[in-house]
Structure 1
Amino acid sequence: MPVDFLTTEQTESYGRFTGEPDELQLARYFHLDEADKEFIGKSRGDHNRLGIALQIGCVRFLGTFLTDMNHIPSGVRHFTARQLGIRDITVLAEYGQRENTRREHAALIRQHYQYREFAWPWTFRLTRLLYTRSWISNERPGLLFDLATGWLMQHRIILPGATTLTRLISEVREKATLRLWNK
């Protein structure tokens, strides 16, 4: 079964920004409440506070952490910095100069906000959902990919690589098809 079923749009938008988020998206995913600010305030330096705040917004909006903060649109950086009272967003260039900073911040965010890695039992639950959908309907794999991405984000599961997800969908669809033909 083919695994290269994603559209160009799906490939380019998976786990990354495709443009500036609109005002509603900024308010929903990048707004920092008092609990967020308290958590962020534990970090030292404006660069770390801004960096961890942006990572929180990215995992909420994209379903994953970014390794290159330059890929975050300017509007998002300014919106987040304003909430923290940071006037000079160029301090973000200092974020992650220490090799472990991003990894440590990602671990802190996962723990504090209860995000999970794409592993058992979540892989099993997603596989079961995809199998059921493949068994009862003949949905396109691209549609199943969007369904899986939405399900993972809803359950606060860090998105796996796109190839991991496409391979899983292809395997599940193949098993469902074989079972259907064997009935």
Structure 2
Amino acid sequence: MAYEFLSDEQVRRYGVFVADPTPEELERFFFLDQQGLALARKKRRRHNRLGWADQWGTARMLGTFLEDPAGVPRVVVDYVADQLGIEDASCIKEYAERGPTQYEHTGEIRDLLGFREFADAETEIAAFVASRVAKTRDSRRELFDRAALRLVEERVLLPGITPLTRLVAEVQRDTLGQINAAVVAPTPVHTRRALIETLEVPGGQRVSTLEWMRTPVTKLSGAG
């Protein structure tokens, strides 16, 4: 599995609501500005107005669209419905039944908010991950989270989880390979050999020489 290095929690929360948005998040992402409110009100039926507005806010907060728009937390639906003057927010269920309408709306919202497809931004995201690998000690899991956040910040629609994890793994591997090659190249052969020997476990010992050197002294003594 391409994303085997991720935790179950990372897989579970990718591109979805994991909890109800806070009041601050509702105001930041789901408060309809003048343009958003005008466009939502142009939709002919109330469930289409509500569904469009929910998707508009979802894209702003998560950087993607939900496969099932009815999966938006109820607090979001109620917040948006109140702005649109829709008394019965349960009509969102009718919107979920209209696949072609949802597709049309996502295209409109993508263009309105200036979102790009992952393929159009893959090179710059790879460069961002490579920079993190070169300058930090981020693990693959940390690199994945930072890459996902970067996509949202740059208004790039989140891809499936597999393409992003594959990019992170490949960029980390290639960047570390380049760094290793740059470090090894000027190192004399005898020094390389001596370093490799520290990885071996000497006879009668339980750990390698390198591990022995890395282990801190636990008892202060002359020998220690």
* CA distance in 2 between partners of 1:68 and 1:57 (Å): 14
3-state SS, counterpart of residue 147 of structure 1: helix
Q: Which residue of 2 aligns with 1:112?
A: 112
Q: Which residue of 2 aligns with 1:169?
A: 168
Q: Which residue of 1 aligns with 2:136?
A: 137
Q: CA deviation at 1:94?
A: 1.3
Q: Which residue of 2 aligns with 1:65?
A: 65
Question: Following superposition of structure 1 onto structure 2, how do residues 84-123 of structure 1 map, counting pairs within 5 Å?
Answer: 84-120=84-120, 122-123=121-122
3-state SS, counterpart of residue 119 of structure 2: coil
* CA distance in 2 between partners of 1:137 and 1:18 (Å): 28
Tell me the TM-score normalized by structure 1.
Answer: 0.93
3-state SS, counterpart of residue 119 of structure 1: helix
Higher RCO (CA < 8 A, seq sep 6+): 1
* CA distance in 1 between partners of 2:3 and 2:79 (Å): 38
Letter in 1 for 2:150: W
Q: Which residue of 1 aligns with 2:218?
A: none
Tell me the TM-score normalized by structure 2.
Answer: 0.77
Residue pair 2:70, 2:92 contacting (<8 A) in 1 also: no
Residue pair 1:67, 1:102 contacting (<8 A) in 2 also: no
Q: Which residue of 1 aligns with 2:210?
A: none
Residue pair 1:40, 1:49 contacting (<8 A) in 2 also: yes
Residue pair 1:152, 1:159 contacting (<8 A) in 2 also: yes
* CA distance in 2 between partners of 1:3 and 1:58 (Å): 24
3-state SS, counterpart of residue 100 of structure 1: helix
Aligned Cα root-mean-square deviation (Å): 1.4
Higher mean alpha-carbon deviation, 8-17 vs 164-173, is at: 8-17
Q: Which residue of 1 aligns with 2:49?
A: 49
Gaps of 5+ in 2: 183-224
Q: Deviations over 1:64-110 (max 9, x none)?
A: 10121232111111011001000011211111433311111000001
Q: Which residue of 2 aligns with 1:23?
A: 23
Q: Which residue of 2 aligns with 1:180?
A: 179
**Which portions of structure 1, spanning 4 or more consecutive aligned residues, are displaced by more than 4 angstroms?**
none
Gaps of 5+ in 1: none
Q: CA deviation at 1:22?
A: 1.1
* CA distance in 1 between partners of 2:114 and 2:39 (Å): 14
Aligned residues: 181
* CA distance in 2 between partners of 1:93 and 1:70 (Å): 6
Give 1 or 2 for the bigger CA radius of gyration: 2
Q: CA deviation at 1:42?
A: 2.0
* CA distance in 2 between partners of 1:22 and 1:180 (Å): 42
Residue pair 2:69, 2:96 contacting (<8 A) in 1 also: no
